[in-house]
Amino acid sequence: MSAWVTRAARVILRRAAGKSVWGQAILAELDEVDGTWATIRWTVGGLRVSWRQQPAAVRRLVVATAGGTAAAVLAGQFLLGVRYMPSGSMEPAIHMSSRVVIDKLGFKLAGLNHGDLLVLHQSGVDGTPQTAVRRLIGLPGDRIECRDGAVFRNGQAVAEPYLAEGTRTDCEPYVVPDKMLYVLGDNRSAAIDSRRTALPTLDDLVGRVIMTL
Amino acid sequence: MPRIPDTSPQTLRIFAALLGDPTSWRYGYDLSRETGLASGTLYPILIRLAERELVETRWEPPAQPGRPARHTYRLTADGAALATQRLAAAKPAAKSAPNRGLRADPAGAQS
């Protein structure tokens, strides 16, 4: 164990030291250091010294690159994402094979609004899981029904200017249960949505569309 | 009150170690063990002292072939004078302010 740590420490310190005299000085002492823990301590200190010996410009570049990469990875993981729109179920608002930029965090802080475009996990007609973009029609407690081809929410007709002209919606009356969402595709005749599949829960939400590319 | 340079407890410990035998060349790891300072604390102080020519450095050829050459340190005449003066100044301060004196005491080693 100790010999293995010493070997690893030598490689790391040699890399870090480069041409720095003081880095080399710390590296040369490594043979004297006894014990695994002492070797690790010596190496960490040596790394700090070698780092401080680097020109400020190099340090800034390394820090900026590492920081930028970390920020980008974090943003991609938790804040933003790009999704491919594989179907025409949201025509005409989102065309097939376009890409959408989604916000993964903001909606959790700001809450959801009727009419939001959501990216969520749902099961397809044959039960296979898929990720879909759908429009939020009903929040928990809302009573959704369709009359004469138009959607009504809690007895009021929903204004849907985003639909293609002449679109008709047919659905069964439904009261949205707690923690669930009622979503519809804009392409009402083709979309697989809450009229046909199990309602998505809040846990199924991936994000909210903020931009179409 | 402006801070007096070279009065930190860590620097004083290094001064005390180097003054132990002012003419001999000391290895970094020996100094680290004697002062209880980690390499990340010890070397930055040595670097500063060397830059101001209070400490001189020398590469010592390896004792056996195949071993690396080692970097060694000792106080210059200026460095020895300053170290003596700083250590002497730290002692009365230790008596008048016991709380701070603990940290300035070179024998206080690691906490």
pTM above 0.90, yes or no: no
- How many Cβ atoms sit within 10 Å of the Cβ of residue A187? 20
Q: From chain A, pick out residues whose CB is under 8 angstroms from the CB of B69.
A: 28
State the SS3 of chain B: CCCCCCCCHHHHHHHHHHHHCCCCCEEHHHHHHHHCCCHHHHHHHHHHHHHCCCEEEEEECCCCCCCCCEEEEEECHHHHHHHHHHHHHHHHHHHHCHHHHHHHCHHHCCC
Closest Cβ opposite residue A41 in set B27, B38, B44: B38
Average pLDDT of adjacent 10-residue blocks, chain A of 213 residues: 85 87 92 90 92 87 94 86 86 90 88 92 79 93 94 94 91 93 92 89 91 86
- Strand A99-103 with A205-212, pairing: antiparallel
Distance CA A207, CA A75 (A): 13
Q: Identify the pLDDT of residue A1.
A: 67
Average pLDDT over residues B80-101: 74
Tokens representing residue A185 in the block: 């595709």
Q: Identify the pLDDT of residue B95.
A: 54
Q: Say if A170 is an interface residue toward chain B (CB within 8 Å).
A: no
Q: Say if A9 is an interface residue toward chain B (CB within 8 Å).
A: no
Q: How confident is the model at residue B93 (pLDDT cuts 50, 70, 90)?
A: low
ipTM over 0.90: no
pLDDT digit string (tens) for A147-190?
999 999 999 999 999 999 889 999 999 999 999 999 999 999 88
Closest Cβ opposite residue B39 in set A24, A46, A52: A46
Nearest CA in chain B to A29: B29
Q: Identify the pLDDT of residue B87.
A: 92
Query: What's the gap between Cα B26 and its chain centre?
Result: 10
B59 to chain A, minimum CA–CA distance in Å?
9
Q: Say if A25 is an interface residue toward chain B (CB within 8 Å).
A: yes
pLDDT digit string (tens) for B50-77?
999 999 999 999 888 888 899 999 999 9
Average pLDDT over residues B19-36: 93
Interface of B with A (CB under 8 A): 27-30, 32, 38-44, 46-47, 57, 67-71
